[in-house]
Homo-oligomer: A and B are copies of this chain.
Amino acid sequence: MEAITIKDIAKALNLSTSTVSRALRNSYEINPETKKLVLEYAEKTNYHPNPIALSLKENRSKAIGVIVPEIANNFFSQAINGIEAVAYNRGYHVVIFQSHESCERERSNIQHLVGRKVDGVLISLSGETTDVSHLQEIQNKGVPLVIFDRISNKIEANEVIADNFQGAFQATEHLILSGRKKIAHITSPSLLYTTKERLEGYKAALEKHGIPFDEDLVHYCGFAPEEARQVIFELLDKQKPDAIFTASDRLALDSFAAVKAKGINIPEQVAFIGFTNLQVAHLLDPPLSTVVQPAFEIGRTAAEMLLNTIENKQSITAVKTIKIPTEVNLRTSSN
């Protein structure tokens, strides 16, 4: 039950492999009758060209690679759906890998993808990644690359991001306008690009409304499961904020749960707003205000950018960054 090859067809029809090859590609220099013969035989025997042999010869694969930290994260799975939507329409397969927030895994994934000659790579950096030499390397090799959401300023590449500053600014300003003064910000590791942008938005809103920035109200959380809980507990005991603004899907949930576990009323005692793509936000108790990133559209845009550079509709040298607006959904949790 081995797969049939071009050689098998050639032998069966008493032709040469080159003739068969050309017949299958519908070359003009093949006799229509021969062509028909070959095509019919191929159809009958369920012939499929061996993509590996093709990749070896042509150094391409009609597939693009996607590396995200964690598909269980709503933002990323939605972004992937955006990516698949355009890739599929344009005839590309999408190969999905997770870095699990590990730089080593990320490097290994990159290795695997370029080794297998994907035509391009879409990546959102792991929370551990500071050194981006692996990206620089594939870029030097000429592999088209687009970084989305979690980008890095250590490398010049095509990028697609949400307007994190705007989202954070709006969220914070909303909390201020609803009368809150001690607004805590629970956020991701400080080296992430998104972390910085959101922090800036947060600061800018404070400044605009004359509220002094208090370092003790900002807490960076790693990816350990219990970390956010601890941080929130401590925060509620010591700084006693009257509002909490969290970055990231994961932190929003963990923090939300922690505040409730402490028996603190939302929004009466503490207002809450999260930077998250949770689809159940409106079903929570109380319904959670969110800053939503246009995940699907980010994925779509990034994939379009990548495919355009792959197909040379877009020059590789002129890198650019596309910023997509975020959306604020106000619900009960923030008044």
Contact = CB atoms under 8 A, between A and B. Distances in A.
Interface of A: 1-3, 48, 50-53, 55-56, 63, 71-72, 74, 77-78, 80-81, 84, 88, 93-98, 100, 105, 111-112, 115-117, 140-142, 253, 256-257, 260, 278-280, 282-287
A63 B97 CA distance: 12
Count identical subunits in the complex.
2
Contacts of A116: 51-52, 116
Nearest to A295: B72
Contacts of A77: 71-72, 77
Nearest to A56: B52
A84 B72 contact: no
B1 A142 contact: yes
Given A1-B142, A78-B72, A115 B284 contact: no
Given A56-B53, A71-B80, A95-B95, A280 B284 contact: yes
Contacts of A78: 72
Nearest to A142: B1
Contact of A283 (B2, B3, B50, B260): B260
B96 A50 contact: no
22 contacts: A1-B140, A3-B141, A50-B115, A52-B52, A52-B115, A53-B56, A56-B56, A72-B78, A81-B98, A84-B100, A88-B105, A94-B97, A95-B95, A95-B97, A116-B116, A253-B283, A257-B283, A278-B280, A283-B285, A284-B285, A285-B285, A285-B287
Contacts of A253: 279-280, 283
A81 B100 CA distance: 9
Given A72-B81, A77-B72, A81-B72, A52 B50 contact: no
A257 B282 contact: yes
